[in-house]
Amino acid sequence: MKYMFRKPGLSIALLAVMLLSGFSAFAGGQRFRERRGEAFRERIAEELGITAEQRQRIEAIRSEHAEAISAARQNVADKRRALEDAYAAESLDKSVVDARLQDLGDAQTALMKRASEVRLAIREVLTPEQRAKARDLKTKTRERFDGRRGARRDRLPAND
């Protein structure tokens, strides 16, 4: 390791490789999340018995809203970054932090409204039986998640 810094070109090359591999790992992670989301949607569609026509209608709804949802997500990320910048400023100004918090809250609300529009539109595509089954799946998933969260909490040491 001590020899690495004797040749500046080698250090720069190593740094470049590390940065590029980090960026590709990030991109790979995003592709993994996208594939995982697709697999999850496919499994749910199978469990609900979604027909080919319903799949087409649901995909059309998702496509119709994709750009707006993406822009809303980016807006939330930008507002979160602005809040972090306000916290990191040399002199912390509470009024600036409060304004950034409000901006972030507004952006999150806008994103949730967009997502709700999509969910409601997709819900209309489902039959009453499929909606009931979807509610059951959601309840079971929530119970499973809450059970795991409780188990983790039980493993934490008590604060006496």
3-state secondary structure the chain: CCCHHHCHHHHHHHHHHHHHHHHHHHHHHHHHHHHHHHHHHHHHHHHHCCCHHHHHHHHHHHHHHHHHHHHHHHHHHHHHHHHHHHHHCCCCCHHHHHHHHHHHHHHHHHHHHHHHHHHHHHHHHCCHHHHHHHHHHHHHHHHHHHHHHHHHHHHCCCCC
The total number of structural domains in the chain stands at: 1
Q: Across residues 19-23, what is the average pLDDT?
A: 47
90, part of any domain: yes
Q: Provide the residue range defining the domain that includes 114.
A: 66-123
156, part of any domain: no
Residue 3 has pLDDT above 50, yes or no: no
Which pLDDT belongs to residue 73?
A: 95
83, part of any domain: yes
3, part of any domain: no
pTM value is: 0.65
pLDDT digits (tens, 9 = 90+) for 61-113: 999 999 999 999 999 999 999 999 999 999 989 999 999 999 999 999 999 99
> What is the distance of C-alpha 64 from the center of its chain?
19
Q: Across residues 3-8, what is the average pLDDT?
A: 48
Would you call 82 exposed, middle or buried from its count of C-beta atoms within 10 A (0-12, 13-18, 19+)? middle
Which pLDDT belongs to residue 148?
A: 74
Return the half-sphere exposure (C-beta side, CA atoms, 13 A cut-off) of residue 83.
16
Which pLDDT belongs to residue 158?
A: 61
Average pLDDT of the chain to the nearest whole number: 82
pLDDT classification of 38: cutoffs 50, 70, 90 = confident
61, part of any domain: no
Place of tokens 């079971």: 140
Please tell me the distance from the alpha carbon of residue 25 to that of residue 35, in angstroms, as a whole number.
15
103, part of any domain: yes
93, part of any domain: yes
pLDDT digits (tens, 9 = 90+) for 111-128: 999 999 999 999 999 999
